[in-house]
Structure 1
Amino acid sequence: MNRVTQNLLLLLLGGALLKISVFSADFGNYVKPGFRPLLIAAGTVLSLLPVASVALDFRRSKGVARQTELLRARAIEEAHLARLVGREPVTPSPDPSHGHEHAEGHRVASLLMLPTAVIFLVAPPALGSFAVQQAEQTSHAPPPTLVEARPTVLKPGRVNVLSMIEFADLAWDDPSGSLRGKTVRLTGFVVPSGHGGAWHLTRMRIACCAADALTMQVVVKGVPAPETDSWVRVTGTWIPRKTSGTGTYSLPEMSASRVERIAPPDEPYE
């Protein structure tokens, strides 16, 4: 792979990182918001490397030009000497493998540039219903108990805005039953459940990036399912789970009184 191709690849990669982290919020489809400064720094470095490489190549080209002039002078001198002594001038033989390697480099470069260009031009969306349905749904582990996730007070007579992990945590393990009778509001995207008129309000939770995403779901009852993958804000009340005595985790349920269609958030993951 020649230097021009390498520089183009670096420029495309750097531009793609800057595009999703500086000029849009698309980076949130892949990593947590705290990684934004690192993406900007990496994109800047990758974008500056080709500039530095071009400057270095320009300096080298001057040296190559001087060397070429010296070789030309030596060739003229050799031709003159060969005529004087009556022999053929000695010229270096070209490397037969050079052209083949050059062609191979271009083919490899074209394969590498294609996915890079696609990422630059078309940013993949955040994980949605397809990723959820591909995950294992036969058994569910209970959500982690997070002290910071549990609100101090759920007030009656008002709408309590909760994250999906807060709702799941309280629904699964809250001896005081603070969710009972309280109006809550959750935000997520729609995934069909395939059971009666219920559907799943879903949010993905990540620790670092989309590769380690965990599915957080709530079964919504009482209203028709909106369009799959649409983002909605659901207001309703918790349906207390039936005690099975087995300790098997079941998805928390809520009875919805209102469903609002919203635009996809800049930060799709919790």
Structure 2
Amino acid sequence: MNRLAQGMVMVLLGMAALSVTVVSQAYLNYVREEFRPFLIAAGAVLVVLGAVTAAAELRGTAEDDGEGHSHDRSHGHSHGHDHAKAPAVAWLLLAPVAMVFVVAPPALGAYTAASADPGTVAESEQVDDGSFGADTPEGEPVELKMREFVVRAWTDEERAMAGRDIRLTGFAVPNPEGEGWYLARLQMACCAADAIVNRVLIENRPEPPKDSWWTVTGRWVEPEGDLQDIRDHRFEVEEMVAVDNPPDPYE
């Protein structure tokens, strides 16, 4: 691939990065929101470098052509500089870049959540028992992130959630091992590659379509015995409301 093609590839890569960060929020399917400025900067640098590379190659070709024509007029034949040409198949390298604009991989969803091991989520986290529901008006459900609910369900020996109305938002996941279905949310520290699943098991409502998003209000089904021996903590739903996919599919 010659320098002109290299420049075009860099421009397309940069435009792809800018399209998922400036024009849309698709980048949230792959990385955390804090990475947006870095992606924008990287995309801009690629566009500029690619444009400079392509322009330099075109300018060099034009100069060589001019020298060749001048030499023809003086001596009757051409000794212009030859540019090495890459085989035509090299242009296929542009195909994966172009596909970024057409087919963008979606956020991880039900397949990942169903196959993940939920027992490792809360091992290193603890909760402040006195803070649960402190900011929620009396009579209103406590709104929690799925991660917060799961951490409390596994580690809060005081069981502060027992008997309290709680509101959670997540996507539906079939339960491949038995009855009921999961309401789940994925949590990532850096990017989608390190995502872990937080989920609760729901058995008192019919299973909704896979990957559909819901806000549910209900109560934690308080288990007997050691909290950390429970594989899947249960949630008894009192109200379900369908919601659009949130702007950020991860917590």
Scaled by the length of structure 2, the TM-score of the pair is 0.86
Report the CA distance between 1:36 and its aligned residue.
0.7
Instruction: Judge conservation of contact 1:12–1:120 (CA < 8 Å) in 2.
Output: no
Indicate the SS of the match to 1:125: coil
2:184 is the alignment partner of 1:202: yes
Q: Residues 7-22 of structure 1: matches in 2 within 5 Å?
A: 7-22=7-22
1:58-207 alignment, distance < 5 Å: 58-69=58-69, 71-72=71-72, 75-76=75-76, 102-103=86-87, 106-110=88-92, 112-133=93-114, 135-137=115-117, 140-146=119-125, 152-154=131-133, 157-194=139-176, 197-207=179-189
SS at match of 1:235: strand
Cα pair 2:126 2:156 within 8 Å, conserved: no
Report how far residue 253 of structure 1 moved: 1.2
Partner of 1:82: none
Specify the code of the residue in structure 2 equivalent to 1:198: G
Which residue is 2:216 aligned to?
234
Whichever residue aligns with residue 5 of structure 1, its letter is A
Gaps of 5+ in 2: none
Q: What stretches of structure 1 of length at least 5 have no aligned partner?
A: 80-90
Are the aligned partners of 2:129 and 2:156 in contact in 1 as well (CA < 8 Å)?
no
- For normalisation by structure 1, the TM-score amounts to 0.80
- State the partner residue of 1:250: 231
Q: Deviations over 1:195-232 (max 9, x none)?
A: 55411011111011001111111111311111100011
For the pair shown, the structure with the greater C-alpha radius of gyration is 1
For 1:87, the equivalent position in structure 2 comes to: none
Corresponding residue number in structure 1 for 2:193: 211
Give 1:251 shift.
1.7
**Letter aligned with residue 68 of structure 1:** G
2:42 equivalent in structure 1: 42
- Report if aligned partners of 1:21, 1:40 keep a CA contact under 8 Å in 2: yes
In structure 2, the CA distance between the partners of 1:149 and 1:201, relative to structure 1 (3 Å rule), is farther
Write the distance in 2 (CA, Å) between the matches of 1:262 and 1:194: 24
Distance (whole Å) between structure 2 residues aligned to residue 109 and residue 213 of structure 1: 35
CA contact (8 A) 1:232 1:261 kept: yes
CA distance in 1, matches of 2:142, 2:169: 12
Q: Structure 1 stretch 230-239 or stretch 156-165: which is displaced more?
A: 156-165
Q: Indicate the RMSD between aligned Cα atoms, in angstroms.
A: 2.8
